[in-house]
Structure 1
Amino acid sequence: MTQDSTGRSDDDPTAKFEHGSAPNTDPGPYGPTAYGQQYQYPQPGYQPDGYPPPGYPQPPLGAYGAYPGYPPPARGTNTMAILALVFAFVFAPVGIVFGIIARNQIARTGEEGEGLALAGLIVGAVFTLLIVAYIIFMVAIFAAAFSAIPAQT
């Protein structure tokens, strides 16, 4: 350890800043930053600490195409399940068919929408039964009404 004329050692961090010298004249990675000095851009190929160099290969993919440590991508809702529920209210027999198709697709692909498909199937079946019962009731009413009319000779 050597001492300068002020009595400070080389290890003293305040030794290099005397009499108003700017403490930020260290060039650092991007060049001098003291007031009045021109900014110098980093040299090509410079990488800050903690970043991989250019051309670094991607990490290996894990399950479902996701990177290790990340959750798998969210599974989408089956479109046929949504259509099953919609058509159960619009045209009930189509809701039944779409509900069956959606449940088969969901079992095969593992998509979301099992509840929608089941609801479309049940609501479609209930509405279809109500429509069939209504048609039978109307036919019975008309048959009874026309049989009550006396035949004209």
Structure 2
Amino acid sequence: MAYDPYGYGSQDPYAQSYSQQPVQQHHYYGSAPVAAPTNGMATASMICGIIGFFACGLTSILAIIFGHVAQSQIKRTGEGGSGMAVTGLILGYLLTVGWIVFWFLYILGLAMFAAETGSTTTY
């Protein structure tokens, strides 16, 4: 092996340099994986379920309908949004049952009040 006084590297053509590792180049063809699009009916179901709190349960029926349609579309197409569809269904059913119970008790209370005030006479 020859001595290099000028620092140009080894003069030995068969000498190996162990300090440098070979550079590996990675070639990625195509694009990054893309998440499945969210189903629009699932989004509508969840929004209608949330709005049902403020709209006296009027949109909760729509939340139930949109939720069931969204779940069938998600199973068929593989789109995302299953959690939103389930959330819309749960909110829709809870609000629908809650408002039905509320209106039943309200009407029952009115009927009991009317029956009580109409049946008593002081004469």
2:110 counterpart residue number = 142
**C-alpha distance in 1, partners of 2:73/2:117?**
55
**C-alpha distance in 1, partners of 2:106/2:66?**
28
Cα-to-partner distance string for 1:118-143 (whole Å, 9 max, x where unaligned): 01001110011100000101010000
Cα distance, 1:75 vs structure 2: 1.2
Cα-to-partner distance string for 1:5-51 (whole Å, 9 max, x where unaligned): xxxxxxxxxxxxxxxxxxxxxxxxxxxxxxxxxxxxxxxxxxxxxxx
SS in 2 for 1:150: helix
User: 5+ unaligned residues in a row in structure 2: which ranges?
Assistant: 1-27, 52-58
Q: Which amino acid aligns with 1:93?
A: I
Q: Which amino acid aligns with 2:109?
A: I
1:112 counterpart residue number = 80
Tell which structure's C-alpha radius of gyration is larger: 1
Q: Which of the two has greater helix per residue?
A: 2
Q: TM-score, normalised by structure 2?
A: 0.64
**1:61-80 mapped onto 2 (5 Å cutoff):** 70-80=31-41
The number of aligned residues is: 87
More relative contact order, 1 or 2 (CA 8 Å, 6+ apart): 2
1:96 counterpart residue number = 64
Cα-to-partner distance string for 1:48-92 (whole Å, 9 max, x where unaligned): xxxxxxxxxxxxxxxxxxx96645432110010000000012211
CA RMSD of aligned residues (A): 2.3
User: 5+ unaligned residues in a row in structure 1: which ranges?
Assistant: 1-66
Aligned partner of 2:95 among 124, 127, 138: 127
Identity over the aligned pairs, expressed in percent? 32
